[in-house]
Each structure stands twice: as C-alpha cells, then as structure tokens.
Chains A and B, each alone.
Chain A
Amino acid sequence: MSREHLETNIIRILRILGIIFFIIIVAFPFYWMIVSSFKSLEELLMRPANLWLDIRKINFNAYYEVLFEHGFSRYIANSTYVSIITVALSVTLATVGGYAVTRLRFRGQAFMSYSILIIYMFPAIVLVIPLYVVFSHMGLRDSIHVLILVYLAQTLPVALYMLRSYFQTLPVEIEYAGLIDGCSRMGVIWRIIIPLSAPALASVALYTFMIAWNEFLFAFMFLDTPEKFTLSRGVVQLAGSVHLSKQLVMAASVMVTVPILVLFLFFERYLVRGLTSGAMKG
C-alpha cells in the first residue's frame, strides 16, 4: 500500500471510532437521565449499574410526584411565561434597535454598534451582588417581572448584534423603494425588513428562549417564594430536599431539557431550509 492509501485507511477507521466516541459521550448522559427517570427508587438503589430499561417496568411515578407533589406543574407554567415574554420583548426591541443602529444616522451610532458586546465580559455573579442589594432595598426581589427585565438585559446585546449583522446584508435600496413608496421607517421595518429577516429572527428567538429557559443564577438568587420558581430554580430546590430519590431529580431534569432539545431539533431543519432557499436577487 502506498503511503497515501495507508494513511487514508487509518483515517477512515479512526474517524469511525472517533464519531462513535463522541456519540457515546454526548448521548449517554441524556440517555441515563431519561432512563433513570422511568425507574423506581428501589430499582435505582438495588441495581445502580443496570444500563437498560425494562419496558415492562416503566414507572411514571417520578413524573407524577414531581409534577403534582413538588409543584413542577407550576414551575413549568412560570418558566414558559418568563421565556415567552422575554423572547417577545427581546425580538421586538432588538429588531427596532438593530435597525436603528444599522440604517439611521445619529451621533453615537458607531459607538453603540461595537460597545454593545462589551457587556458580555462581565460575570453574572458580579451583577448579582449589587442587584441583590438594590432589589432588597426596594423590595423588588421576589418578582418574576423583574427577573424578565434582568433576562432582557442579558439577551438584548447579542440579539441586537445578530440582527444588526443580518440587516447589513439586506440591500438598502429595497428600503429606499419602500420609503419613496410611502412607508415610514416603522412601516419599512414591519413590511419589508421583518418579512425578509425570517431566518435571523428565528435564530434570535431561539437563542433568547434558550437563555431565558435555562437560566439558573438569577432565578436562584432572586426568587424566594416557591410559587414563583422557574424550572431551574425548582430543580435545585428538589435536589436539595430529596437526597436519595434521584429518579425524581432526573424526571425534573428531563422536563427542563426536553422542550429545548425539541425546539432546537425542529428549528435546526427549518433554519437550514430557510437559509438555503432564501436566495434573493434583484
């Protein structure tokens, strides 16, 4: 075998092994999470090394308990509410803000477009302390709506940046045509920019949802009464109160994770399709 031939074959084998390796390390924790959530406590304690799930022994108790005895039905509602509102506000504000930074002329335009990302250099824990102090002073701590505002502050800079990058690729002349035809700037945004930005808007919405839904630290620090807990807060609460019943924690984890995974799986196909077929000319 020539050197090239030999190396190519080695590579092929290594590649297959490598992919298998990655598949295992990525999928296994999720697999384990799901499988454990369907086992009973005795099962977990007695056969902790059992990798498989007996279909006949599937146990929905964990889910039942978590949802109805540990308040997770409430937490799901809270998380959904918080995430959806955050996404709606984020996308709206980032769209108009991104448009302003891209197309409108004003003093400080250059500054706004670049400085917006410096925000991400600050660690969340550094923001938490002063906010905790201020909120405590003002009695604002245990509020879902304040939490939404905090989340907005986290997501807006990136959302604005992403949309700005996208808007820059849209030909200005289409907007000019709209302005001449009789639209105001807001009209141009609503009738022209938004329809043409569907893939970018979807990405921003997805990304914002992910941040709001997954967020832990601020929910942990700022929410005190269980009725107001988001899912992340709730899972930590649960884990702290039950030490052995891991199946409950796993069930709770599945509930937090599944919506995000499903969203991403579904939208990834949609996004790809949208991006490839949206070839505009003229």
Chain B
Amino acid sequence: MALSRVDIKVKDGEFCVLLGPSGCGKSTLLNIIAGLIPQDQGTVLLDGQSVDSLAPRDRDIAMVFQSYALYPHMSVSQNLSFGLRMRGTPKPTIRESVQWVARLLGIEDLLDRKPRELSGGQRQRVAMGRALVRRPKLFLLDEPLSNLDARLRANVRLELKQMHHQIQGTMIYVTHDQVEAMTLGDKVVVMRDGKVHQIGPPEAIYSYPSNTFVATFIGSPEINLYRGMLVRKDGLPHFQGAGFSLNLGRLQIDLKEGEVEVGIRPEDIGTGQAESMDLRAKVEMISYVGSEKYIHARLGDEALTFCAPKDTALQPGNVVHVAVDPGRVHIFHKGRRI
C-alpha cells in the first residue's frame, strides 16, 4: 500500500490516532515508524533524531498488534518479560516490572498460563502488558481493540484512556473506528488511500471537516451530503439541491455561483418552520436506537436523515417542516469552505 506525502508531528505525551478505512495505509505508516518496513522517501524522527538506520529494537518503542502476536510457546510472564530479558535487565528489576504491569492490567493470576489458554480479552491485556512493561518512549497500537466484542471494547477503551493519563506516554494508535478515534485521541489524523486528509483535535475534525471524505467518514449517523448549485437570489446565496432550495442567508461565501456540495449533520436539523426557509420532508422510515430516533425522510429528490427525541410522534408518511441553521451548514467545493 503506497503512502504519499505524509507529514505528521506528534507531541510528547500526546495520544495521536491514525483513522481511516481499511487499506488506507495507516498500518503501513505504523510499521514504518516502528522500523519494520523501510520507507522510500522521507525520515522518521524520534525526539528530533533520525532513526532511519536503527533497527526496531533500538528505537525505544513498543507495539501492540491487532492479532496480539503473543509468543505461543511462552507463558504469560515469559511473554511480558521477553523484552526486558533481551536487554539484559537484572532479574529483580524484571520481576518487579512484570508484577507492576500484571497488577496494572489485572492479570496477576494468569502469569503461568500459555496464550492458548486465555480468552481474547485476556490476551489483549497481555499484549498491552508486554508493551507497557518496558516503559518505552513511544507506544504504537495497531487496532488493538478490533478483535474484542463490542461491550468489552467500550470498557477497554475507557481503561486505555485512563492508562494514558497515568503513564503519560506518547501513543500512536491506528483504527478504522471513528468512535475510538474521537474518544481516545488528542489529535486525529484522517487518512485514505495513502494520503492524509486532515489532522486536528477531534472537535476540529468533527465540526470543521476539511473535505467531503472526512465529513462523511466521521459522525454517526452519516452527514447528509448533497450536490447542487450555489446561486444568488436577491443578493443572497442559495443552495439549489435536487428538488429543494436552501437559503443560506447571512453566510459569507467567497464562491461565485457554481457547483458545490453541501453537508448537514443529522443533529443540526430540527423540526419546525424557520423563517426564510420552507423545507418539507416526507418521513419514509424510522430507526429506533433506544436513546433517540433517526428519521429517514425525503427532501425533494434527496434522502435526509435527522435525529428526533425518542418519544417523537412522527410516523412514516408524515410530512414535516425541517429547519437548518445556515451557520451549521458545511459547504464544499472540492475542498471546504465556509
């Protein structure tokens, strides 16, 4: 998988998430940082020093793999102490560190078992432990939660965040799950097809996506995206979509008339009639997720999804008025602009 022109800076102690769909190159990038794959161009700098000629074991890093990659023929404690043993750490220190890590992760009573005797969640902890025990400068995590079942994943996610605060290590974390990215990351790097699309803190990525890919990738339910024309009526910008028109009123837009894409997040849409807007949507289907309802409707010729409280009276077939705050509308013209 090729990467092109990736330029990322991670601060000391930061939790940086590489987010993107499968095959976008995030694991490749991680492997390059680790020194497992050489890069064709560019340098990897740790603490300002180039580590390109250093073998993985000399880079003071630790890695947690998606498949955990525990040594099957060694016990848990041997797995944990392996790195320390390789570096010639004195035995008492090894014992101490292993105990510390085991206590931290709650796996003390598993120390003598072999990996094949452990459950998925237990193996995941051992994998984390193996990385933690050496207290390296940099932690690399390659989708460590994706093999866990959903409920376990949420719990471990929380623990990870707590652990990060406790240890204050620098972490680079790879995932395709945007929820993980948003909850864990101090900084999120959105990638696709080997290119970086946007870097920033989660709020920035969510509220100010720099292009349509980022806008659609982040956010659940997905953003409503429409293609259409930007026209000026009475001096005011209007978005002409397929079968409906949006008065963008007070927005300052540099673009003269032309093709644009407009994105509106489901939670930015409300029911009710707003001044200067007359949008009517016909409800087609309702998804009930427990805490609220997602209303799937038809606006003009396009599909529209918005959120409603769980006790809403809406039914399929109803026609409702919807309103949008023009300030919350994302306008894209091959990039992003507002």
Q: Which residues of A contact B (CB under 8 A)?
A: 171, 173-174, 176-184, 187, 192, 195-196, 279-282
Contact = CB atoms under 8 A, between A and B. Distances in A.
Nearest to B88: A182
Contacts of A281: 115-116
B70 A182 contact: no
B116 A196 contact: no
Given A281-B116, A282-B116, A196 B72 contact: yes
A180 B63 contact: yes
6 contacts: A174-B71, A176-B34, A176-B63, A180-B34, A282-B69, A282-B70
Which 5 A-B pairs have CB atoms at the shortest separation, nearest pair first? A182-B86, A181-B83, A173-B69, A182-B57, A177-B69
A273 to B, nearest CB: 16
B68 interface: yes
Interface string B120-159: 1001000000100010000000000000000000000000
Contacts of B82: 178, 181-182
Given A181-B83, A184-B55, A196-B73, 17 more contacts: A171-B67, A171-B69, A173-B67, A173-B69, A174-B69, A174-B72, A177-B69, A177-B71, A179-B55, A179-B57, A180-B63, A180-B83, A181-B57, A181-B86, A281-B115, A282-B67, A282-B69
Nearest to B140: A180
Interface of B: 31, 34, 36, 55-57, 61-63, 65-73, 82-83, 86-87, 115-116, 118, 120, 123, 130, 134
B113 to A, nearest CB: 12
A68 to B, nearest CB: 47
Contacts of B83: 180-182
Contact of B62 (A174, A180, A280): A180
B69 A181 contact: no
Nearest to A175: B69
Contacts of A176: 31, 34, 36, 56, 63, 65, 69
Contacts of A187: 86
Nearest to B131: A180
